[in-house]
């Protein structure tokens, strides 16, 4: 039986910032394109994958759909950040992307490419501009989100660097001053400023701005429904039952939230958090109890064959530079509320994974030693997902590391095993096997010194749907390549 797990694309593929769209009988995911073990964000050209709407287990590689070198401002601007695609009133497909230079102190422009099909290849059309030819430069021209609202094409974009919390003020000031050539005082005293989510309408040519940029969220979040989940980046708009849902990444970074309004450009109210790539907030989970190392998050929701899904990304390596797409089914209640969902290993599988055969260890949705961080942590010893010499595995598993998978379907008597090896310090210990994060061990796997990949297995009797957790107790450090059942 064909199965799919998180991440749902091939394990050597890194497509974060996923924007899912159903065109015809297929769903297409457009996103940035990180390099495995990359040195900065978005090093590769755009590719896309698609799947039949009635079978989200069969993802097809559509190939390279657009290259940075197609833009006339390349190589001065060469980093293509998160894109989005909208079907125009002429039936063609328009790819919007933010092109940046001089990473990390970037300035941005918004470009458009077009194609007759959603799978590419897209051809450069133009830069988003005003009628007099001036490039759109109001706000941070970043993270486009498009909506064709009964023939009206709207472009949403923006970013908000917070000077007061969660980010280093000096770094924020440096980036703002470099980008906008303004002081902190000038930025904060501006009537609209340059920070926040903005919307413009586009002319029928799809590149010319028809209406002035309009901020859709409050200028000051204090005392509003957004407080604690203020807008940061990752604009994305959906229209559901005549209500507008704006999906975005908050100041927290790791969470995707939504706001709703009866209008496309005003009166938005905070709705809630849809997903956190560390499960923070899910069933009251606190920041210090994150289940995975967290980092920036970006994605959106889509209705596929009658069901709603959230597409988001997770972080691998010890940086934020190799991000992989994941997805979960969500519910939109009758009152319009979207409950936060947990991150899982089974994702788009439409049910738990079968407790049969062999699985890559890196499909875990819980990887923690109780000392995780946000963002880059290259100087710390932490369990993490890595690719070395073509093999992808979990590295630096030390005492008290917990590795979890949700969910498996067990059929009774079974053997459970791991393929592991010693890391830089010879280990001596055991892996406890549990069905709850802090549960009672059902059995254990003894771990001994083995510099080559070795397999250990033990008996396990379980029935039905369960989480599966491994907790390492012992000295030294191990890597795990696979988990297996028979």
Q: Is residue 379 part of a domain?
A: yes
What is the average pLDDT value for the chain, to the nearest integer? 92
The residues annotated with a catalytic role in the active site are 17, 233
Q: Which of the listed residues 306, 322, 349 is the one where a domain comes to its end? A: 349
Same domain (yes/no): 276, 314: yes
pLDDT tens column, 270-293: 999 999 999 999 999 999 999 999
Other beta carbons within 10 Å of 242 = 6
What pLDDT does 207 receive? 98
How many structural domains is the chain composed of?
A: 2
Residue 172 lies in a domain: no
Residues 57-106 have pLDDT tens digits of: 999 999 999 999 999 999 988 889 999 999 999 999 999 999 888 765 66
DSSP E strand boundaries for 278-369: 300-304, 307-315, 323-330, 353-354, 357-360, 366-368
User: Would you say residue 262 lies in a domain?
Assistant: yes
HEC readout, 153-192: EEEEEEECCCCCCCCCHHHHHHHHHHHHCCCHHHHHHCCC
Shared-domain flag, residues 446 and 377: yes
| pTM score of the predicted model | 0.94
Choose one of 349, 364, 397: the last residue of a domain: 349
Residues 396 and 476 grouped into a single domain? yes
Q: Are residues 299 and 369 in the same domain?
A: no
CATH number for the domain spanning 423: value is 2.60.120.260
pLDDT of residue 128: 97
Burial 136-173 (b: 16+ CB within 10 A, else e): bbbbbbbbbbbbeeeeebbbbbbbbbeeeeeeeeeebe
Mean pLDDT throughout 355-369? 97
The predicted pLDDT at position 167 comes to 38
More confident residue, 175 or 206: 206
Which residues touch 307 (CB under 8 Å, ≥6 apart)? 329
Residues 209 and 273 reside in one and the same domain: yes
User: Same domain for 133 and 258?
Assistant: yes
- Pick the last residue of a domain from 321, 349, 377: 349
Q: What strands, in cross-sheet order, belong to the sheet with 145-149?
A: 145-149, 152-159, 196-201, 214-215
**391-405 average pLDDT score:** 97
* 267 and 137 co-located in one domain: yes
Q: Is the pLDDT score of 172 beyond 80? A: no
26 & 131 share domain? yes
Please, which pLDDT band fits residue 191 given cuts at 50, 70 and 90? Answer: very low
Domain extent for 298: 19-160+195-349
Question: Is 400 a member of any domain?
Answer: yes
Q: Judge if 367 and 337 occupy the same domain.
A: no
- Looking at the domain assignment, is residue 11 inside a domain? no
In contact, 201 and 111? CB cutoff 8 Å: no
Q: What is the domain-level CATH number for residue 65?
A: 2.115.10.20
Residue 189 inside a domain? The answer is no
Q: Average pLDDT of 414-425?
A: 89
- Do 344 and 357 fall into the same domain? no
Q: Which of 77-81, 366-370, 404-408 has the lowest mean pLDDT?
A: 77-81
In a domain, 434, yes or no: yes
pLDDT of residue 174: 57
Same-domain status, 336 and 367: no
- Whether 402 is covered by a domain: the verdict is yes
Condensed to tens digits (0 to 9), the pLDDT of residues 304-340 reads 999 999 999 999 999 999 999 999 999 999 999 999 9
Q: What pLDDT was estimated at residue 163?
A: 46
**Regarding predicted confidence, which is higher, 393 or 177?**
393
DSSP string, 102-145: STTS--EEEEEEEESSTT---EEEEE-B-TTSPBP-SS---S-E
Q: Give the pLDDT band (50/70/90) at residue 183.
A: low
Assess whether 240 and 101 both reside in one domain: yes
């Amino acid at each position: 039986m064909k199965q799919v797990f998180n991440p749902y694309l091939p394990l050597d593929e890194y497509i974060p910032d996923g924007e899912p769209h159903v065109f015809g009988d297929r769903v297409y995911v457009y996103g940035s394109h990180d390099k495995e073990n990359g040195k900065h964000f978005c090093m590769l050209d755009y590719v896309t994958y698609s799947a039949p709407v009635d079978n989200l287990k069969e993802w097809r590689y559509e190939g390279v759909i657009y290259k940075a070198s197609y833009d006339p401002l390349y190589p001065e601007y060469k980093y293509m950040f998160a894109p989005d695609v909208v079907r125009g009133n002429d039936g063609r497909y328009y790819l919007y992307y933010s092109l940046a230079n001089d990473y990390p102190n970037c300035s941005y422009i918004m470009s458009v490419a077009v194609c007759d099909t959603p799978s590419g290849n897209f051809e450069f059309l133009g830069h988003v501009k005003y009628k007099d030819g001036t490039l759109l430069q109001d706000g941070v021209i970043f993270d486009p989100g498009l909506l064709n609202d009964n023939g009206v094409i709207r472009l949403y974009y923006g970013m908000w660097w917070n000077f007061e919390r969660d980010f280093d003020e000096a770094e924020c000031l440096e980036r703002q001053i470099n980008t906008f050539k303004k002081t902190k005082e000038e930025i904060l005293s501006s009537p609209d400023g340059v920070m926040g989510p903005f919307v413009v309408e586009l002319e029928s040519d799809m590149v010319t701005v028809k209406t002035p940029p309009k901020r859709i969220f409050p200028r000051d979040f204090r005392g509003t429904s957004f407080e604690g989940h203020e807008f940061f980046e990752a604009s994305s708009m959906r229209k559901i039952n005549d209500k507008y849902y704006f999906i975005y990444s908050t100041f927290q970074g790791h969470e995707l939230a939504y706001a709703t309004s009866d209008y496309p450009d005003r009166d938005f109210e905070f709705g809630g958090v849809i997903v956190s790539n560390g499960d923070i907030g899910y069933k009251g989970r606190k920041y210090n109890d994150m289940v995975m190392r967290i980092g920036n998050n970006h994605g959106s929701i889509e209705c596929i064959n009658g069901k709603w899904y959230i597409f988001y990304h997770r972080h691998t390596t010890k940086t934020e530079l190799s991000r992989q797409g994941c997805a979960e089914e969500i519910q939109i209640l009758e009152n319009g509320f979207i409950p936060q969902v947990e991150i899982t290993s089974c994702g788009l599988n439409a049910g738990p994974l079968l407790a049969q055969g062999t699985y890559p260890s890196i499909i875990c949705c819980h990887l923690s030693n109780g000392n995780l961080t946000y963002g880059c942590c290259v100087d710390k010893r932490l369990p993490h997902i890595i690719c070395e010499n073509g093999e992808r595995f979990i590295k630096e598993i030390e005492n008290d590391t917990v590795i979890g998978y949700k969910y498996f379907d067990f059929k009774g008597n079974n053997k459970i095993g791991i393929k592991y090896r010693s890391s830089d310090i010879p280990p001596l210990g055991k892996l406890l096997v549990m069905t709850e994060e802090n549960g009672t061990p059902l059995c254990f796997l003894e771990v001994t010194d083995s510099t080559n990949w070795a397999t250990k297995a033990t008996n396990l009797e379980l029935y039905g749907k369960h989480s599966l957790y491994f907790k390492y107790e012992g000295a030294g450090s191990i890597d795990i390549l696979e988990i297996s059942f028979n």
